[in-house]
Structure 1
């Protein structure tokens, strides 16, 4: 469903996802930005601001990564994939994430998200797990991109062969490998 279409004689852009949208003033825009956590795509982002909130929270790390007040811009794909890449149980409380783990998660998000923007597609598998390296067929999905767990429920894990699981968490589908991501 197209929620808003902006068009001129030669170009148009459609807003499809959000259920609401509003035209806002510059001051209102700034107020919204001030409520957001650090964004991994911004070079001036301060990851320690996010970690301060995460390290004091009993909320799961998977839910915290989707909370825009904690960290901006991490969607469902990057949440699932970065937790898998670092073998972190998505149900672990934020306060149990060490500063070293957070630093590694942040650095990986920065790299993955920049690569996603550059390539206009989300690929998260490491070179040793690509279809070519593993002799497996490439992913066929409207999402595109090669991933470890996102939208791969009931399929075998590329690393351990175990079954990828899915569950609802923070009003979104969560995907993870219970073998690779043990608490």
Structure 2
């Protein structure tokens, strides 16, 4: 599932391609046909992300709410849009660009109140201007749930997925099995600040890099990471490989239904 930086990049891409212009909106596959008909030929006035949710605004006509889920993808193209092929849920197009959405978990038309209701269910997003970690800390500091599980709970914190979860815990030297109430406020503030910086880099570069300069391949004389996700990471998908910092084998387990990676030496239990 795409992590939060991907949705913020998508919001910027939609705004760049269609912002302020009349847009042809269609649903070749059919399920969003009624919403598309209402929005067709209206200007795209806003595009924003909150965690893993994308909102495309069309003024008083409402918002397209998209959640990509596990299989959703957006493809942008230049020039006139080709004839639609396959399961195409949503297409936005003008004379110069088109964007095709396939396989999302959610694609629906919301009014302002319904959009706000969706966002009220979400925790703060490290990439949203004005969001702080305070609301997340209020929930985390009272919880007996592991910090690893809490970071993936979108009601607590929005946009963090499996990669950022594993990597930020490693960078902060935190045992993923530590209960939320075991964190100090200083530790949480450092973790939040690290997420803000890492995810902003992800928005800028389009991939996830979490490794500090002294541990990059050129600094350590090691091969670069070969993975479809791209970017250099400390522990994600590196089970049983040597930790880049201490050399201890990276540990892995299934935690809350998702794969969890950590270094038991660099992230010792308390």
The verdict on a shared fold, with TM-score over 0.5 as the criterion, is yes
**Shift in alpha-carbon separation, 1:169–1:15, aligned structure 2, 3 A:** farther
Which 5+ residue runs of structure 1 have no aligned equivalent? none
Deviation at 1:21, TM superposition (A): 4.0
Aligned to 2:154: 68
Deviation at 1:7, TM superposition (A): 4.3
TM-score (norm 2): 0.64
Alignment coverage as a number of residue pairs: 182
Aligned to 1:105: 191
Larger mean CA deviation between 116-125 and 3-12 belongs to 3-12
Aligned to 2:217: 131
Q: Deviations over 1:59-113 (max 9, x none)?
A: 0000000111111111111100000001100000000000010010000000000
| Greater RCO (CA < 8 Å, at least 6 residues apart) | 1
Query: Distance in 2 between the 1:15 and 1:116 partners?
Result: 23
Query: Distance in 2 between the 1:46 and 1:174 partners?
Result: 26
Q: Which has the higher strand share?
A: 2
Instruction: Calculate the aligned-residue CA RMSD, in Å.
Output: 1.6
- Please list, as runs of the form range in 1=range in 2, the aligned pairs for 1:32-51 lying within 5 A after superposition: 32-51=118-137
Query: Distance in 2 between the 1:162 and 1:141 partners?
Result: 21
Query: Distance in 1 between the 2:105 and 2:133 partners?
Result: 30
TM-score (norm 1): 0.93
Aligned to 1:12: 99
Aligned to 2:175: 89
Query: Distance in 2 between the 1:7 and 1:42 partners?
Result: 25
Q: Secondary structure at the match of 1:114?
A: helix
Which 5+ residue runs of structure 2 have no aligned equivalent? 1-70, 73-86
